[in-house]
Chains A and B, each alone.
Chain A
Amino acid sequence: MSVEELVRFDGEALGHARHTVLAELTLGLQAGERVALLGPSGVGKSTLLAALRQRLGHRAAWCPQEHGLVPPLSVYHNVYMGRLERHSAFANFLNLIRPRRDAWHEIQALCGELGLEGLLKRPVAQLSGGQRQRVAIARALYQAREVFLGDEPVASIDPHQARRLLHRVQNQHTTCVIALHQRELALTHFDRVWGLRDGRLMFDTPARELTLDDLDTLYPDAHSSDPQPEPA
């Protein structure tokens, strides 16, 4: 059985103009694989996701953290923006004044699934952090692409909800790369874990071969902070 490889990095350096964030990265993303991306904040998870997003182009749905939303616009318009490129500028403009019927029904159904029912007309500025995060997920799902790339999409969401949302995302996308900080979810909901530390890829291992202790090695001061795992 041959598996399609969607992206391959071969000893590459990723970063901004002059500053290398990830050095000598060797990594491959296989189709049908659910990958959790772990590492302390600032280690380069976002850089790696941005590089993946660039390589995948139209094949990837992108779910940034909540600051990618437009707070003055309604939930409906924020989700609609996931398909902004598929309509003409004129149609998009009209949609701002009067929502399209088809898009409205589709987004209503999607938001219902994500626990945002009844909020479609509300400006994102008036939502809680967790609700905004779900709007960001809804927008990525609405893009309807092959691969889901998420930068901590379930960061400010309680564990039970987070599990439900990951499930929903993975139902629609057989391939995904999601940055997380809940280590337990990485082991229970993903096929593979990429662990980053100190500007390098520490491991690229199937999730079933890892334990929580292995994941703890990514975080320099993990032994001192939150020793108790979240209830499964």
Chain B
Amino acid sequence: MREERAPGLLAGDSLNLRLARRSLGLIALCLVLLPFADLAITTHDPWAELGRMLSGLLHPDLLATESLPHAIALTIGFALWGTLLGMLLGFPLALLFPRSRLLRGGCAFVRAIHELFWALLLLQVFGLSAVTAIAALTIPYAGIFAKVYAEILELTPRAPVDALPEGVGRLSRFVYAELPMVWSRLSSYTRYRFECAMRSSVLLGFVGLPTLGFHLESAFREGRYPEAGALLWLFYLMIASLHLWGHRRLLPWIALGSLFLLGPWPDIDGALLWRFVSVDLWPQPLLEGNWSGLWQWFSEIPDLLPAIGNTLLLGLMGTAGSLVVALLLWPLASRHFGNRPTRMAGKGVLILMRSTPELMLAFIFLLMLGPSMLPAWLALSLHNGALIAFLVARHADAIVPGSHALPASGRYAYELLPRLYGGLLALLFYRAETIIRETALLGMLGIATLGFHIDSSFAYMMFDQAFVLLLITAALNIGVDALARRYRPREIADTPGQHDRPAGEAPC
């Protein structure tokens, strides 16, 4: 009888081994490239700074901020109108989405540019007004809604349509036999998107729009940590209580009521707008048809290649970091590990980290550690890792373990992770698009990614340069998304809960 040789390290053809090789490859690539990243800590005493921030969180001062109710109302108003208009635009687009390649491309493009970059662009025309804020949310959300609604509509069960009598018109068929079948999924996605809009609306404060984020940023920047702590708690409270005040019947009234607070509306000068769109945004040599001049113009963009390189590197580091964080943290919130108090605490930490936008986390780390890629890396890894860990823990809770006698490490490695890993990796690759989007954005904090150059081009009124950089950012984002789609695990071992597929959770 011939004995079968024991397989070598990571040799074999099972699904999980292939996934393990793929993820180790990702981490190895990240480690090889790590020396190229600037990870210096430049502040004098980061721990003392952290201590001051934490003490601010523990002793929040709610009364320090002026016109706080107004800021809260604006934050909600922007988020609500941005989502609402995005939905109204996105829904009809979703119906055409499967039929038009041009439309799909256009939606991918508007999605690929972060809300804050849209705000920077619109700011030049509409100033610091509600139009800028709402349009900055509406434009990318229309693209997102078009795509996600189209995906949901595609999954409409066929049976009710097949059962209809012959000759039913297209519209009647849609409202009776198709729309009701997917209505709950559409509305739950829309609610989720509104939650994202709340976060984005807060972030709009970072470019100067008077939302909660504006006060948050200045309080942090000026070291008024008790005030910053109070604003941060307020932000968490707003997100956590969404299900209380975000009621279906209440929202229309909030939307109408907020209209009175959103003004003053800007006077829009048509000629100026036209000049901006038709002249200012385009390189002068291109408008003149001077091709060699265009090349010259291009080569004068400072540090273009390093910026692209840094963006990609930070995106890679963020993805690998998220993977590690997710692997380490998901047991914190799972019923298979620890006891009730540890799980409560674990869940709390994960929810806090995933509710804090990357930009805000990065900003806090930046104040602590000084400007380098390190704060951005930490922020990306912690936020996305916590988000994935939370979803993986939810999947894990649906698994009934076979034998109860295993120690925790055995349960983790033998019972649970083999069943969860495919799903975890799929989530990670879904997030990759978001991570690269955020990476570019984090440049606005002074980290040398594309966002830094976009921000400074706008600051120097070099709109043509800013616009080209935005286009490059969008192209990069679309490219990374295609790459992640290619390597995303398709055959997932046995993840429970197919219905809460990450599709809905993708770009927030």
Contact = CB atoms under 8 A, between A and B. Distances in A.
Interface stretch (A61-69, A163-171, A201-209, A213-221): A61-69
Interface string A65-90: 00111111100010001111101110
Contacts of B180: 70, 72-73
Contacts of A87: 172
A175 interface: no
Given A84-B172, A89-B171, A93-B171, A70 B177 contact: yes
A57 B159 contact: no
Nearest to B157: A67
A58 interface: yes
B163 A58 contact: no
A57 B169 CA distance: 16
Given A64-B159, A72-B181, A96-B176, A82 B171 contact: no
Nearest to A65: B159
A69 B170 CA distance: 18
A131 interface: no
A133 interface: no
Interface in B12-40: none
Contact of B162 (A64, A72, A81, A83): A64
A213 B169 CA distance: 47
Interface in A8-59: 57-58
A69 B160 CA distance: 5
A57 B165 CA distance: 9
- Which range holds the interface residue count of chain B? 20 to 34
Interface in B314-355: none
B413 interface: no
Interface string B352-365: 00000000000000
A68 B171 contact: no
Contacts of A70: 160, 176-177, 180-181
B175 A96 contact: yes
B165 A62 contact: yes
Contacts of A82: 165
A77 B169 contact: no
B277 interface: no
Interface in A107-142: 139
Given A72-B181, A72-B184, A93-B171, A81 B166 contact: no
A73 B172 CA distance: 14
A58 B176 CA distance: 20
Nearest to B170: A89
Contact of A89 (B163, B172, B181, B184): B172
Interface residues of A, number: 25
Nearest to A77: B176
Contacts of B170: 89
Contacts of A88: 169
Contacts of B160: 68-70
Nearest to A57: B166
A44 to B, nearest CB: 17
A77 to B, nearest CB: 7
A83 B176 contact: no
Contacts of A58: 165-167
A141 B162 CA distance: 17
Contacts of A68: 159-160, 162-163
Contacts of A93: 171-172, 175
Contacts of A89: 169-172
Contacts of B165: 58, 62, 82-85, 143
B265 interface: no
Contacts of B177: 70, 81
Contact of B172 (A71, A92, A139): A92
A72 B170 CA distance: 20
B159 A84 contact: no
A85 B169 contact: yes
A64 B164 CA distance: 10
Given A70-B181, A72-B184, A84 B166 contact: no
Nearest to B183: A72
Which among A58, A73, A82, A143 has the greatest number of chain B C-beta atoms within 10 A?
A73
Given A57-B166, A72-B181, A67 B159 contact: yes
B244 interface: no
Interface in B141-189: 157, 159-160, 162-173, 175-177, 180-181, 183-184
A62 B168 CA distance: 14
Given A58-B165, A58-B167, A93-B171, 7 more contacts: A68-B159, A68-B162, A73-B176, A84-B168, A84-B172, A92-B175, A143-B165
Interface of B: 157, 159-160, 162-173, 175-177, 180-181, 183-184
23 contacts: A58-B165, A62-B165, A64-B163, A67-B159, A68-B159, A68-B160, A69-B160, A69-B163, A71-B181, A77-B176, A82-B165, A84-B168, A84-B172, A85-B164, A85-B165, A85-B168, A87-B172, A89-B171, A92-B175, A96-B175, A96-B176, A139-B163, A143-B165
